[in-house]
Amino acid sequence: MNAVRLGAVDTPMLWENPNVKSGKEKIDPADVGKPEHIAEAILYLCSDAAGFTNGAVLNVDGGRLARLG
């Protein structure tokens, strides 16, 4: 089994969140992904190309988790 760990994704659900609304100007656009980024990661994990991938957690967050260290 594999998993996709998401970062912030540019969707109405993100921008309607009260915590995000209050600090919207502090959000770096580079830290917000597009739904297509998530879809492409999932498509990879569902494809034959990932046939030998097992137990992976794929971080799809534009590198934010790595920068937090």
pLDDT in tens, the chain (69 residues): 999 999 899 999 888 888 877 767 777 777 899 999 999 999 999 999 999 999 999 999 988 888 887
Q: How far apart are CA 31 and CA 10, in angstroms?
A: 10
As for how many domains the chain has, the answer is 1
The DSSP-derived string for 26-63 is G--GGGEE-HHHHHHHHHHHHSGGGTT--S-EEEESTT
Parent domain of 55: 3-68
- The set of residues, in sequence order, having a beta carbon less than 8 Å from that of 32 and lying 6+ positions away, is 7, 8, 9, 10, 14, 62
Rounded Cα gap, residues 16 and 14, in angstroms:
6
